[in-house]
Amino acid sequence: MKKLLILAVLLFCSQTALADINSDLVEAATAGETDTLNTLISDGADLKSAGGPAVISAAFAALEHQGNGEPFDKQVEAVQILVNAGADANTHFDNGITALMLMAILGQADAVRDLLAAGADVNAANNADGGTALIFAVYGGSTEIVSELIAAGADLDAKDAGTGNGDGRTALSYAEEKSHAEITAVLKQAGATP
């Protein structure tokens, strides 16, 4: 099921990509060329205009690699390098998908912490169904990330659009549905409602 969701997110993101921002930062980040990325940053690359697009591009590339069964650790490292250097942690695709959401579903706790420390909006919701990073983390199955997002102020009762019939779902309802007992307990302890 997780692989199916990741493939759906991949398809959705690929259809609503950022405007064509072609930069050395984006190319290095997407390719996971961390040495090149560090050199570009040291040489004064423009993080203000190209840093955010590089972050979301690297996060998407990580998801794409994971969906293809390929290693994606260098793209995750690229996300961390960029946000720790000051790149915008809130850049998103046109559909509202953020790097925080993608790192959450991929189970990348260190990257999630770095994004939150860099000011990523813990309650940003995507435009398609209103899903938040907390809901993505539940799908990813990471209790650690769910806890990190709760500590960062995630809205426990945020609902996505569900099936589109006014039946929006919360992170807790997904955790219960997926039989994530530990995540369910963490969410309930924090005060979440279905």
pLDDT score at 161: 80
pLDDT score at 164: 61
Residues 91-132: tens digit of each pLDDT: 998 888 999 999 999 999 999 999 999 999 999 998 878 899
Residues 55-80: tens digit of each pLDDT: 999 999 999 999 889 999 999 999 99
| Rounded Cα–Cα distance for residues 143 and 182 (Å) | 7
pTM: 0.88
The CATH classification of domain 2-190, taken from the options 3.60.10.10, 3.90.1150.10, 1.25.40.20, 3.40.190.10: 1.25.40.20
pLDDT of 5 above 70: no
pLDDT score at 180: 94
pLDDT score at 136: 95
Q: Is the dihedral of CA 126, 128, 130, 135 positive or negative?
A: negative
- Which are the contacts of 96, defined by CB distance < 8 A and separation ≥ 6? 124, 125, 126, 127, 128
* Partners of 132 in beta bridges: 125
Which ranges in 97-159 belong to alpha helices (H)?
Answer: 99-105, 109-117, 133-140, 143-151
- pLDDT-derived band at 7 (thresholds 50, 70, 90) equals very low
- pLDDT-derived band at 20 (thresholds 50, 70, 90) equals very low
- pLDDT-derived band at 153 (thresholds 50, 70, 90) equals very high
Chain centroid offset of residue 140 CA: 10
